[in-house]
Amino acid sequence: MADPHTKAALSRRKLLTAGSMAAGLAMLADVSHSQDNPAANVEDRGTNIQITSLKGFRVGTKAYIKIETNRQITGWGEVTGLEPMVAVALAQSLFELLDGENPTRVEYLWQKLYRSHRDMRGGPFMTHVISAIDMALWDIAGKAWGLPVYRLLGGPVRDKVRYYSHAKAHKVGTGGPHPHSGDPRDIEPLVKNIKQTRERVGPDGTVMFDAHCAIPPAMLIQLAAAIEPYDILFLEEPAVPGNIEVFKRLKESIKIPLATGERDRTIWGMIPYLQERCIDILQPDCAHTGGISQMHKIATLAEAYMVPLAPHCTCSELGVSASLQAAFVVPFLVIHEMYLDGHLMPPGVANKTFKVLDDGHVTAPEGPGLGVHVDESQFEKVNADPKRKFVWPKLTLPDGSVRDY
């Protein structure tokens, strides 16, 4: 049987733009000329490519980052979970650190950005923006070499990636905040919803439950015991990120596999869950945690602890494609989140090349780089829609006190 990735490589050639084709061929010529000189083979053959500009765009509730080079190769990345105009301003400021740099030195530039402000090292706003820049750098590197990013990361370890949400795989949410309560009136509707979802997807379907950090720990322990018969794949976000002592307490009392990580950033944010053995499934978000570069490292850390990944993703098809590039090289992966129904971004803005299969999986993105095509001409139309404007959540419990979710 023909290797599907070989077929993808063939169709990829058709997708090369004239600019990236010329640049890629120039680099390949360098390779053949250096065959008789082993020392030349260890040099960075992409040394002539340089970053010339960075542009940021608000696109609905997201920000898209576009990095241009002197080789007419362009890379795209997506910022999510952050006020988009703040993201655009921060990305444009960070261009000072990228101007004239070689975009194929992805790890070096990640370090340069993350460690740029003395010992601040990240924080959510910075790391979300670095995530998008990292995606754009990998996009450029892939296009420069004429390869999908997953090839540069070691090649695919699977033929397809299992995903949700679809008719046979559904994640149930909390339906809002839950003040501390042991009342059946408060717990029974959640149990009923999970039970009905299990009945709807059938015994061969997948049910997940996202507690959104919105259910107090004692109440969550009660709820978890009540939903045990419905065989859910994981119970997500049982507690506020980073509160390791609460996670340890919940892990001792809840039999359902616990998952978290969407609001944790970098290897340094993830490792306490692993070291304290208080999580069963890790859910890094490529657009929150530091981009493809950090996803790849987090997967390796988790693999050492036999903890699989279920990547969180509420990006448009741009960020989903970036996350999939990493997911295809992760050896230990359960399922990948994605929403392709247009509620996060209208169709036509970022255009995926991966295919959605009938069996609940997606194929790898095709073409060089991230394998996604961004249509800038759509941005204005998206921004004209008042429903697609970022608004700060204004969240309170019924008694007026503040809540996170």
Binding site for Mg ion (CB under 5 A): 210, 236-237
Contact 75, 139 (CB under 8 A): yes
How far apart CA 101 and CA 112 sit, in angstroms, is: 11
How far apart CA 405 and CA 263 sit, in angstroms, is: 12
Q: Closest separation between CB of residue 85 and Mg ion, Å?
A: 25
Which residue(s) pair with 172 in the sheet?
209
Q: Which of 178, 288, 296, 312 is catalytic?
A: 312
Please say which residue, 68 or 237, places its beta carbon nearer to Mg ion: 237
Coil, helix or strand for 352? Answer: strand
Q: Which of 168, 159, 157, 158 is nearest to 359 (CA)?
A: 168
Is residue 178 part of the annotated active site? The answer reads: no
Q: Locate 80 and state its tokens.
A: 């999510």
For residue 323, whether the previous peptide bond is cis, meaning omega lies within 30 degrees of 0, is no
Please say which residue, 90 or 256, places its beta carbon nearer to Mg ion: 256
Please say which residue, 134 or 237, places its beta carbon nearer to Mg ion: 237
Residue-level length of the chain:
405
The residues, any chain, with a CB within 8 Å of residue 83's CB and separated by 6 or more, are 390, 392
Alpha-helix residue ranges (DSSP H) falling in 255-350: 266-275, 291-304, 317-327
Please say which residue, 78 or 236, places its beta carbon nearer to Mg ion: 236
Q: How many Cβ atoms sit within 10 Å of the Cβ of residue 260?
A: 27
Query: End-to-end CA distance of the chain, in Å?
Result: 49
Q: Which of 5, 128, 178, 212 is catalytic?
A: 212
Q: Closest separation between CB of residue 194 and Mg ion, Å?
A: 15
Alpha-helix residue ranges (DSSP H) falling in 305-390: 317-327, 379-383
Q: Closest separation between CB of residue 87 and Mg ion, Å?
A: 21
Q: Closest separation between CB of residue 173 and Mg ion, Å?
A: 8
How far apart CA 232 and CA 217 sit, in angstroms, is: 19
Please say which residue, 121 or 343, places its beta carbon nearer to Mg ion: 343
Q: Closest separation between CB of residue 179 and Mg ion, Å?
A: 20
Half-sphere exposure of 166 (CA within 13 A, CB side): 16
Please say which residue, 205 or 261, places its beta carbon nearer to Mg ion: 261
Is residue 361 part of the annotated active site? The answer reads: no
Q: Closest separation between CB of residue 401 and Mg ion, Å?
A: 22
How far apart CA 146 and CA 142 sit, in angstroms, is: 6
Which positions are annotated as active-site residues?
212, 312
